[in-house]
Structure 1
Amino acid sequence: MPTTAPPHSPVIQALARSRLGVPAVTAFVLAAAAPLTVVAGSAATGFAVTGFVGVPVVYLTVGVLLAVFSAGYVAMARHVRQAGGFYTYVTLGLGRVPGVGAALVTQLGYNCLQISLYGAFGAVAADLARAGGWHLPWWLCAGAAWALVAVLGLRSVRVNGRVLGTLLVLELAVVVVFDLAMVSHPAAGGVTLTALSPAHLADPGAIAILVGGLAGFVGYEATVVFAEEVRDPRRTVALATYLALGLIATLYALSTWAMTVAAGPAHVVAAAREHDADLFFALAAPHLPAALVDLGRLLLLTSLFAALVAFHHMIARYTFSLAREGLLPAALGRTGRLTGAPVHGSLLQSGLALTVLGIFAGAGLDPIRHLFFTGGVTGGLGVLVLMAATSVAVIGYFARDGRGEPVWRRVTAPTVAAAVLVTVLVVTVAGFGALLDLPGDSPLRWLLPAGYAVAATAGAGWALILRATRPRVYAAIGLGPDSATVVAATPSGARRPDPVRA
């Protein structure tokens, strides 16, 4: 077999190898999850909107569910070293046609998530500037963040790992200090574990929090996107995935429980409705130096920035993976000579983000409600679709060859995960309008979820066109850096065994 791609191969160039270890990969995915943003924003909103006290136990439940999902996901990662993530897994497990459909769903979902964060960043930065006497429009603050993200997107993944790692350490340290301050100063009645009781899971409000809770974990699953750039692909991705998941679940549960301790379980909902997204800071502020509280609010801004950088890199690598296999223009599958970064994929994502920001700013739309909230929830729906499809794909992948994996990883865990995720998906789509607090007659309640159906259909159609018109490109779908060797024809013209379902 040849070891390099022939001239006609859709593989253009590989990502930089052996640059990332467990800490760097973990930093990328934790930054994408934006722990402080979830704790200070989404969790407080969950208390206020649903009136549900059991938010902490729901976060723990989501962590257990995702651990079950990860069992099969990580098992497959041990045998697949590619940057295509969900797209690659669906292709290898279910076939090329659904795989290309998943590719477009991935692009749409992650771009919604990344671009929506500019709305939150712009609004938070404008508020901080206003407190200092500067009156800046949100779109100007968002534009400054966009420029810096665009520059970092062209740099080495190792440089970005250091930036994210530094911001993440500060962010996590502040969250832990605030949690300790709240727990050490409980409301009347002392420290109570009421909010951690499993009995809360029977409450109707648990379903809404479950959906929002899943969105708070989005990003941890992207460890596989860096599979081509890690030093030890069989070990690094698995460790980083479980480490990130464990840290996120523990942090979310601990922080939301600490809020119920500081306010009192009977009063935390009222406090959340009074303080809204400032609840986390308001409960800790009486027990900490004012400078530290101000630092926490500033780190909320850096948390959003870190998530912007992390998602930008993920999207650029997805684009690179699709382009080198011929699904997108070949130029998008090239990397920088010195940095090994997918520069053209990065530039494309930056251009798309700037266009959307321009549209929202020009239309005078609210950066939080219309961009951050609507875009974030819609993006989270896309990731939920992909996770459900990937669970089924894991079963299909190992059905042909168990590859030495135990039954729990290749059958039981992915089956359980698929059943639960599909159920959550159905409930989410059915109540999507309520999740976005849309009027009953708003077409967005079905137009936004339908966007993923359109993307999946368009991708499947494109795959069928490639099968009929460009069979060699079609044969390389989902094979990443191995496509040149797997689909290379023998002297007689026959193809070698195909590891992908037709």
Structure 2
Amino acid sequence: MTQLESKGVAASAKRTLQGSLGVTAIVFMVVAAASPLTVVGGAAPLGILLGNGVGYPALYAVSAVILLLFAVGLAAMARHVPRPGAFFTYIGYGLGRPAGLAAAWTAMLTYTTIQVAVYGYMGYLLEITVISVGGPQLPWWLYALASVALVGILGYRHIDLSSKVLGVLLLAEVAIVLVLVAAVVVRGGPEGLSAAPFEPANVVSGSPGVGLMFAIAAFIGFEATAIFRDEARDPDRTIPRATYGAVIGIGVFYTLSAWGLIMAWGPNGIMAAAAENPATLMLRTVSIYLGAVGEVFVNVLLLTSMFACVLSFHNVLTRYQHAMSTAGVLPDALSNVHARHLSPHVSSLVQTGTAGVLLAGSALLGLDPLLQVFTWLSGVATVAIVALMAVTSVAVIVYFARNRQDRRPWNTVIAPTLGFVGLILSAAVIVAYFPVMVGDVDADGAPVFGAVTWTLLGLTVLVPVFGVAQAAWIRRRRPAAYVKLTDAIAG
């Protein structure tokens, strides 16, 4: 999902990248790193179970429309920011250095929590997979920590999954899901095919805020298209088209996939099937429609896609830490580069330790890897990224209002404003239903903002506030470092 972003973050201070990547190539790499089977087989069943049930697929379409409006402003900004970057770069250009630093810390929170969330899911899936083949019954967190160690070794040595490997995984993941949907369509499902997932009554049923959280989380990382600015052929045209292509492609694929998953069990049977075990819903569906061989194939693909996902997150986080160290925000040691491996090895070690500590803490607290580690931390990541995108929309509007470099109303004012409104409304709905997702409910099942909810949501407020306070402290106490911060965040 985000290893692509890491390349741009680390490389900008070293050299200028050049290339001739086209729209298709950039979209391909962004979607490949997103590990789509992780979303379809991992997050979608939880979105159905904990969210709005039969109406869940429609939320992918809703999310895509909101993010398309947001992407209009993002694409306009990409034409005028003369360097590859992500949200924090655009926010720095539009709203200033303190806001840019707050955004960088918020991005760190987003990718840290979503990475640990996927580690938890992968640990659980490995546990049940090993048991299913007659292996020992070991706790999920041992598998998760072993995965952290393996990712840490690869990250330390600068060993990444090549674009060719990611490409093969992408084609296999997309192909197996489309074959499954085709099989469901041919057989008709137990209740026949219908548009029930798109009926308004179903869309707003259950806990739509929880469903929307899982739907928007599937799009995390699409902004990585802007990272390829220096490597794109005619970037002023290629980057906007790649951004739109990524959002539309992701939205259509996930909407179709979730619809097929529900049709496979029927609108009246999907909730019971998901409640039986959401982690295995995809595998059980494949077993019914594609047989035992298909089930094994999907199980392997699901594990490899999750591994590619966490390795990508690890890489982007180490590059974020490396870049922030170079900017004088984190300790200087994090900016060190290994003499032989040419990797940000110290940053990689710190990131490995961070993930290990968070997973160990989750194990000590006795958290469920699926319904708590994955779900809770995915919620934090989604709230953080939605807030980050909303602030980016404001930054786009302010930037063009100030410099008048682009006078197209739709691109610089109207679409960013509509995107901002959609994102703010989405954030409000997600926050309103956040207690339901973490189990903070009263006897009637109504949401109650308890300690767990306040703690998790509090992170999305405290982290950016810390960034603003840190920027103010650096400006007052270390003026030279503030100049370096200026160069790193806002050009």
- What band does the TM-score fall into relative to the shorter chain? 0.7 to 0.9
Distance (Å, rounded) in 2 between the aligned partners of 1:82 and 1:347:
28
Contact persistence 2:89–2:490 (CA under 8 A): no
> What's the CA shift string for 1:262-282, capped at 9, x where partnerless?
333343334333453333333
Q: Is the 8 A contact 2:279 2:370 kept in 1?
A: no
The aligned counterpart of 2:480 is 472
Q: CA deviation digits over 1:303-328, x for unaligned, max 9?
A: 21121012122222322332222222
State how far apart, in whole Å, the 1-side matches of 2:36 and 2:55 are: 19
1:395, distance to aligned residue in structure 2 (A)? 0.9
The alpha-carbon distance between structure 1 residues 424 and 459, as it changes in their structure 2 partners (threshold 3 A), is: same
Q: Judging changes above 3 Å, is the alpha-carbon distance between structure 1 residues 229 and 364 closer, same or farther for their aligned structure 2 residues?
A: farther
Aligned equivalent of 2:454, options 429, 446, 460: 446
**How many Å apart are 1:236 and its aligned residue?**
5.1
SS in 2 for 1:326: coil
**1: CA distance, partners of 2:206 / 2:128:** 35
The answer to whether structure 1 residue 120 and structure 2 residue 125 are counterparts is no
Q: Which amino acid in the other structure matches residue 31 of structure 2? A: L
Q: Does 1:72 align with 2:80?
A: no
Q: Which residue type is aligned with residue 126 of structure 2?
A: A
Identity %: 35
Displacement after TM superposition at 1:233 (Å)? 4.6
For 1:418-429, what aligned pairs fall within 5 Å after superposition? 418-429=420-431
1:150 and 2:158 matched: no
Superposed counterparts of 1:233-382, under 5 Å: 233-235=235-237, 237-274=239-276, 276-335=278-337, 341-382=343-384
Secondary structure at 2:218's aligned position in 1? Answer: helix
2:12 & 2:420 partners in 1: Cα distance?
A: 35
Cα deviation, 1:179-202, whole Å, max 9, x if unaligned, reads: 111111113564323323466555
Please tell me whether the aligned partners of residues 114 and 377 of structure 2 are also in contact (alpha carbons under 8 angstroms): yes
Contact 2:52 2:204 in 1 (8 A): no
C-alpha distance in 2, partners of 1:349/1:14?
Answer: 22
Q: Contact 2:158–2:341 (CA<8 Å) still a contact in 1?
A: yes
**Aligned counterparts of 1:393 and 1:417: Cα–Cα separation in 2:** 12
Deviations 1:353-388 (A, max 9, x none): 122233333454332233222122112211111111
Tell me the equivalent position of 2:43: 42
Q: What SS does the aligned partner of 1:391 have?
A: helix
Deviation at 1:421, TM superposition (A): 1.0
Query: In 2 relative to 1, CA 364–98 (structure 1 residues): closer, same or farther, beyond 3 Å?
Result: same
3-state DSSP of counterpart to 2:249: helix
Q: Distance in 1 between matches of 2:360 and 2:415?
A: 44
Amino acid at match of 1:443: A
> 2 CA distance for matches of 1:465 and 1:273?
50
The question of whether the paired residues in 2 share the 8 Å contact of 1:113 and 1:375 is answered with yes
| 460-469 or 237-246: bigger deviation | 237-246
1:495 is aligned to none
Deviation of 1:249 after TM superposition, in Å, equals: 1.0
After superposition, the Cα gap between the structure-2 partners of 1:115 and 1:236, relative to the gap in structure 1 and judged at 3 Å, is farther
> Which AA in structure 2 matches 1:465?
W
In the TM superposition, what is the alpha-carbon distance from 1:416 to its structure 2 partner? 0.7
Cα pair 1:105 1:386 within 8 Å, conserved? yes
Q: Who wins on radius of gyration, i.e. which is larger? A: 1
2:17 aligned partner: 17
1:253: how far off? 0.9
Instruction: Give the Cα–Cα distance (whole angstroms) in 2 for the partners of residues 203 and 468 of structure 1.
Output: 51
* 2:439 aligned residue: 437
CA contact (8 A) 1:13 1:333 kept: no
Q: What amino acid sits opposite 2:323 in the alignment? A: S
- Name the stretch that deviates more: 312-321 or 188-197: 188-197
Counterpart code for 1:357? L
State whether residues 33 and 166 of structure 2, in contact with CA within 8 Å, keep that contact through their aligned partners in structure 1: no
Match of 1:459 in 2: 467
Contact 2:51 2:209 in 1 (8 A): no
C-alpha separation in 2, matches of 1:315 and 1:322: 10
Q: Which residue of 2 aligns with 1:171?
A: 173
Change in Cα spacing, 1:117 to 1:83, as seen in structure 2 (3 Å) is farther
> Matched residues in 1 for 2:346 and 2:266: separation?
52
Structure 1 residues 134-158: Cα deviation after superposition (integer angstroms, max 9, x where no partner): 1233233223322332233346687
Which of 395-404 and 122-131 deviates more? Answer: 395-404
Aligned CA RMSD, in angstroms, stands at: 3.0
Return closer, same or farther for 1:148/1:79 CA change in 2, 3 Å cut-off: farther
d(CA) in 2 for partners of 1:470 and 1:24?
43
Q: Secondary structure at the match of 1:413?
A: helix
2:92–2:489 CA contact under 8 A, matched in 1: no
Contact 1:14–1:481 (Cα < 8 Å) also in 2? no
Q: Distance in 2 between matches of 1:426 and 1:191?
A: 33
Larger mean CA deviation between 23-32 and 245-254 belongs to 23-32
Cα contact 1:119–1:368 (8 A) shared by 2: yes
Alignment partners' CA distance in 2, 1:288 and 1:184: 12
1:222-237 matches, cutoff 5 A = 222-225=224-227, 227=229, 233-235=235-237, 237=239
Task: Answer whether contact 1:84 1:480 (CA < 8 A) is retained.
Answer: no
